[in-house]
Each structure stands twice: as structure tokens, then as C-alpha cells.
A and B are shown apart, each in its own frame.
Chain A
Amino acid sequence: MTLSVGPQHPGSGHFRLIITVDGDIIVKAEPDPGYVHRGEEKMAEVRNYIQNIPHIERPSIIDASGILYPYVLAVEDLLGKSAPERAQYIRMIMAELNRITSHLYFLSIFGIFLGHSTMFMWPMGDREVFIDLSQMIGGTRITFSHFVPGGVRSDAPDSFADKAEKTCDYFEGRLKEYERIFVNNPLCHQRTVGVGVLTKEDAIKLGVVGPSLRASGVKSDTRRDEPYDAYDKVDFEVPVYSEGDSYARLRVHFDEMRQSMSIIRQCIKQMPKGPVKQKLPPQLRPPAGEAYARTEAARGAMAYYIVSDGGNYPYRLKMNVASFRNLIAIPYLLKGVHLADMPTVYWGLDYWPVEADK
């Protein structure tokens, strides 16, 4: 029997999976993305480098800083400029705050996909405190448009350090409660352990990125591999699990949130005083050339390939987003799993249709 899962389905998002089932086992899954394709790349070609900032972060509003970060780095690379040191730290704080909110979103949907409604509500509620925190810096709740080539738009207020410390303390306690109610729940083990196993070889071959890659035992994190901004000055672990199943992917998200909080704390401590933005002309005209910049966003390696012809507008802008790179693993992993495990496997891969469709 062929099932069309989505785009109007509680378990799919703006995305369709054409699933062939034999009894309860999926024999074939074919993804059909494109329901929210907006032509971001074409739009970018007819807007200048500053005008591109707001619309570029729209595909992934739950991780708005993450998707904007490599764009800013790529433009800076083309211009041959770099951000002041304080701006680099503020960018890192924003990126990590966004990583936490994005991972909380992940957890809550993961919870409801397993039928655990408490795990749906708690992370959604706790996501709010981090949104408040990023609002202090970015000015808005989710789509900040805060990074600009040459720095950030605004500085962090003085009260930020205290509030961030308090929030992190609170959240560490909450993480323990999440583990008690959900991650260590035997039923959750039963549903996730050994489900949708992505082996290390396959993960490398398919070029999977982000938490899914690290859950398969590949210790690769762009923040470590190719430290950008001040990531080489902070100390953090890259959580790696070797199992490659849904449970490992869940655990990676948990550990990454802890690491993110540690990075935020270190950033606050190390952050120097100073300007947060380099003076650049309002109309950026990078010299002709091309740049490929990548960062580690919440969902994995996010990269931009920009070709400039020396004009106001990017000649070509390619968004190489994490979700799109994980798309290939969805049909691969869904083969042979139970229909009931479809949502967890699919969501565990950190696939965000809006981001993949661009």
C-alpha cells in the first residue's frame, strides 16, 4: 500500500514522503520536497548584500543566526575584512543560543512524535527563556537579522551576563528533569534504541551532517574542524556516539545543549570591550571572486558559496543547507523500519523542510 505522508499530515511538515508499506514495514520511501521553495538563491541575485540578510534567514527561523552566519562570513571573506573581536563573541553567543532553541524545538517534536506530550510542552516552554535571552541582544524574538558583514548590528546590554548565567543554571536543572522523564524512560529506549541505524561508513558516504553525523560516530564539527570567529579560543567537547540510531541522535542533541551553554559562559567571560561593527560602506561591492564559507549551525554544516562579479549584487549565491544534505538519508534510513518509527527516524535526522527547500 502506498501512503502519501504529507504535506498535510501531523508528522511531516511542509514536505511529502511517498511511502510504500508492506504490512507495517516500509519498503520504499521517496521524498518529495519543494512545497515551500521560495527561490532564495534567485532572490539573492537581485538584492544587494545587505538586503539579502533578512530574507536569507527566513528558511530557518528557528535557527536564524545559524543560517545567516556563513553568509556573513562568506561576504567578509570576499571583502577581505573581519569583524571586531567583541562582535565575534556576540555572534558566537547568538549562534549558540539559537542552537539551544533549535535543539529544544527538536526535542519537543521528537517527544510528540513518540506520543510523549509532556516532552512536547516542556522544551517549548523552556525555549522561551532562551528566546528572551537572545531578544536582549538581537532585539526580536526569532528572526534577528543581527549579523551584518563586518560585525553585528547591536551590542549586548550590560545586564546580559547575569541573566544568561541565571538562565543557564536554571536550564541545567531542567535538562536533568528531561532526562528523567524522557531520555531515561524505558519506553523511550524501547522505541528509539536500534531504530534507524546509520552506520559510520554510510554516514560518511552519504555526506550526512550535524548531530546525525556525530551520532554515527564521526567526530566532525565545523567549529572544531575549521574554527571560525573565536571558536578556537573556547573550550568545548564534540559529543559523539557510535550507535547511529535514533537514541544516539537524541543524546547528541542533549549533550550539544550542555556544550552550548558552556560556550556561552566562556564567551561572556572572555568577551573584550570594544566596537561591535566595522565601518563599511553602505553599498558593499566585493571584488570579483568567489568564497565558500561554512559554519556549524544547529542542524549541521551550513555553507554558502558566493560568486561576485564586483557588483552590488551577488552574481551567484548558493545556499548549501544542512537539511538538504540530510535529505538523502531519509529514504535510505526509512527502508525496512516500522511505520510507527517513521516520524522518529525522519525527525531525528534534523530535516527541516523549509530550510531544505530554500
Chain B
Amino acid sequence: MSAQSSLEQSLVQQLSSQFKDSVRSSSFKAKRFKITVDETIILKVAEYIRDQLGFDHAASVTGTDFPKDGVIEVVYHFTSYSKDDLRKVVGALAVRIPRDSPKIPSLINVWPSVEYHERETYEMLGVTFEGHPNLKRLLLPEDWSDIPPLRKDFTLPGR
């Protein structure tokens, strides 16, 4: 592989060796890598990614509902503006949390840019981000009383 993929590989290896026991899975391809960790240490991993690896902002927070496995996977995509060689890399930090009580610590103190993304994930998937200062409804109407719409058991009428 080229020098690029070795960069992603080294990043993944660095993370895996740092948080040996808590890393569930990791993968990488050209310019992308993804690492899944336990939700208990996500704050530490995120701080490590920010401070040691140099990824200075999170681009998005999103989640995927997997009813078959009974989990919701929350994914933070992060990249860097300040480090030139990291700009082309987009990393993903994922946690898989139980579907019936989805709770993870908020990363707003690590990456302030996640504020509105976490709010969106909260209302769309029902994931509670503990420590988020303003976890309110964002896009949905105020009187929305159904289940979070991006869960798989929310079906669109007529579909």
C-alpha cells in the first residue's frame, strides 16, 4: 500500500495499542479509519485523539439503529484543520450502546463543534448525551410525541 494507507494504519495501531482492552473493532481504508470503543472510555479516547493525534474538530455526530443486534451505533467523524497531513483523513469514533437505554457521555468539552450534531442525534435517535448543556429538540416540531424518527421501528406512513 502507499504511504497514505500506512498513515491510517499507524493511527489505528496507535489507538489500538493505547486502549487495548476497550477497542472492540477497528478498520481502515484509504483516507478513512474507524475505531469502535466501549462507551465508558469514549471521553478518554476522544481526548487522546484530539491532543495526541491532532484531530481538532468533529465534523459530525450521527447514529445508526441496529434493531437486530439491539444496539445503536453512535459515530463521531473527526478531522483536522491545523495539521496538514491529517486534513485528508477522516476518522470515525464509534460506540455501540444498548438500544433501550442509549446513553453516552457528551463530547462537547472535547470538541465544541459537536453541540448541534449531538442535539440532532438526541432527537432523531433518542440517544442521551450526558453532560450536554442544552440537550433540547432542534429540528423536530415542539409537539412531536412519536418515537425518534430515525429509529428503524419508526415507519413512514405508506411505505
Direct A–B contact in the complex, CB atoms closer than 8 angstroms: yes
A31 to chain B, nearest CB (A): 8
Q: CB-defined interface of B73-85 with A at 8 Å, one 1/0 digit per residue?
A: 0010100011000
Closest chain B residue to A332 by CB distance? B112
Give A305 to B87 CA distance when docked, in angstroms: 18
Residue of A203, A290, A305, A358 touching B139 (CB-CB under 8 A): A358
A199 to chain B, nearest CB (A): 13
Q: Using a Cβ–Cβ cut-off of 8 Å, how many residues does chain B contribute to the interface with A?
A: 37
Instruction: Indicate if the CB atoms of A46 and B159 lie closer than 8 Å.
Output: yes
Q: Is B128 an interface residue (CB 8 A)?
A: no
Q: Is A265 an interface residue (CB 8 A)?
A: no
Instruction: Indicate if the CB atoms of B156 and A206 lie closer than 8 Å.
Output: no
Q: Is B42 an interface residue (CB 8 A)?
A: no
Given contacts A37-B139, A294-B90, A328-B113, contact A320 B60 (CB under 8 A): yes
Instruction: Indicate if the CB atoms of A205 and B112 lie closer than 8 Å.
Output: yes
Instruction: List the B side residues contacting A225 at CB < 8 Å.
Output: 87-88
Instruction: Indicate if the CB atoms of A325 and B59 lie closer than 8 Å.
Output: yes
- Which residues B102-159 have CB closer than 8 A to chain A? 111-113, 115-117, 120, 124, 137-141, 149-150, 154, 156, 159
Instruction: List the A side residues contacting B139 at CB < 8 Å.
Output: 33-34, 37, 357-358
Instruction: Indicate if the CB atoms of B113 and A325 lie closer than 8 Å.
Output: yes
Instruction: Indicate if the CB atoms of B156 and A42 lie closer than 8 Å.
Output: yes
Instruction: Indicate if the CB atoms of B81 and A204 lie closer than 8 Å.
Output: yes
Give A42 to B90 CA distance when docked, in angstroms: 24
Instruction: Indicate if the CB atoms of A327 and B60 lie closer than 8 Å.
Output: no
Q: Is A333 an interface residue (CB 8 A)?
A: no
Given contacts A33-B139, A328-B115, contact A218 B81 (CB under 8 A): yes
Closest chain A residue to B32 by CB distance? A292
Instruction: List the B side residues contacting A83 at CB < 8 Å.
Output: none
Give A357 to B117 CA distance when docked, in angstroms: 12
Q: Is B5 an interface residue (CB 8 A)?
A: no
Instruction: List the B side residues contacting A39 at CB < 8 Å.
Output: 149
- Which residues A269-313 have CB closer than 8 A to chain B? 290, 292, 294, 301, 303, 305, 307
Q: Using a Cβ–Cβ cut-off of 8 Å, how many residues does chain A contribute to the interface with B?
A: 35
Closest chain B residue to A330 by CB distance? B116
Give A305 to B31 CA distance when docked, in angstroms: 14
Given contacts A46-B156, A218-B81, A220-B81, contact A318 B60 (CB under 8 A): yes
Q: Is B64 an interface residue (CB 8 A)?
A: yes
Q: CB-defined interface of A161-175 with B at 8 Å, one 1/0 digit per residue?
A: 000000000000000
Instruction: List the A side residues contacting B156 at CB < 8 Å.
Output: 42-43, 46
Instruction: List the A side residues contacting B117 at CB < 8 Å.
Output: 324
Instruction: Indicate if the CB atoms of B58 and A207 lie closer than 8 Å.
Output: yes
Given contacts A34-B138, A204-B82, A207-B111, contact A303 B59 (CB under 8 A): yes
**What are 18 A-B pairs at a CB distance below 8 A?**
A41-B150, A43-B156, A205-B113, A206-B113, A207-B57, A207-B111, A225-B87, A226-B87, A226-B88, A290-B34, A294-B59, A305-B60, A315-B64, A316-B62, A316-B64, A324-B117, A325-B113, A328-B113
Known contacts A220-B81, A292-B92, A325-B113; 12 additional CB pairs below 8 A are A42-B149, A42-B154, A46-B156, A225-B88, A290-B34, A303-B90, A305-B77, A316-B62, A318-B62, A320-B77, A324-B117, A328-B116
3 A-B pairs closest in CB distance: A207-B113, A207-B57, A34-B139
